Amino acid sequence: MSHIYHPNLGDPARPAILVDGCPACEQHARNLYDLDETFTRALWRKMVAANHDGMDCLRSKAERIAVDQLWKFALILERYTDVNPWTLFGAAE
């Protein structure tokens, strides 16, 4: 799997955290367990924003795939545990 260089990769302020057309980013969108804490935190925050404020914050298909997976996981946490997934990683203050 090759990874195309992306300036400021992993910066949560960057428009797309996972970029379409990059084999590594597209693979990471499907295999979230391969992401480091910085990417996981940034995607989690985008997931909360997308599902509370709208999907306009998602800038790539790869991000939509990743956020969809995180959303399902957040629902499992919310329904079956005492964890409040909307506050994880400082997503909601």
Predicted TM-score (pTM) of the model is 0.77
Q: Domain range holding 56?
A: 41-86
Residue 52 within any structural domain of the chain:
yes
HSE on the CB side for 54, CA within 13 Å? Answer: 1
Q: How many helices (H) and strands (E) does the chain have?
A: 3, 0
Specify the range with the lowest mean pLDDT, choosing from 12-21, 58-67, 78-87: 12-21
> Left, alpha or beta for 7 (phi > 0: left; psi -120 to 50: alpha)?
beta
Residue 75 within any structural domain of the chain:
yes
Contact in structure between 22 and 6 (CB atoms under 8 Å): yes
Q: What does the pLDDT look like over 20-76, one tens digit per residue?
A: 888 888 898 999 988 888 888 888 988 888 887 777 778 789 999 999 999 999 999
Residue 54 within any structural domain of the chain:
yes
> CA-to-CA distance for 1 and 13, rounded, in angstroms?
26
Residue 12 within any structural domain of the chain:
no
Residue 62 within any structural domain of the chain:
yes
